[in-house]
Structure 1
Amino acid sequence: MSENNKINNVPVHDLRREYKNTVLRRSGLSSCPLDLFKDWLKDACDAGLSDPAAMCVATVDSSGQPFQRIVLLKYYDKEGLVFFTHFNSRKAQHLKKNRNTSLLFPWYMLDRQVIFLGQAEPISTQESREYFQSRPKESQIAAWASPQSEIIATREVLENRFLEFKQKFQEGEVPLPHFWGGFRVRFHSVEFWQGGLHRLHDRFIYQKKENEWTIDRLSP
Structure 2
Amino acid sequence: MKGWFKTESDTSRHSDKNGSLFVEEIISCSDGKYNPIRIFSSDQILKATNNFDANHIISHGRFIWYKGTIEERKALIKKWEGDHVFSPSADNAHRDIAVLSMMSSHKNVLKLLGCCVEFVKPVIVCEYADKGPLQLEDKDGTPLSWSARLKIGKEIANAVAYLHMAFPRIIINRDINPQNIFLDENGTAKLSSFCLSISIPEGESSVFDDKVFLWNIR
Q: TM-score range by the shorter chain?
A: under 0.3
TM-score (norm 1): 0.21
Higher strand share: 1
Q: Which has the higher contact order (CA 8 A, sep 6+)?
A: 1
Quick check: which has more Rg, 1 or 2? 1
TM-score, scaled relative to structure 2? 0.22
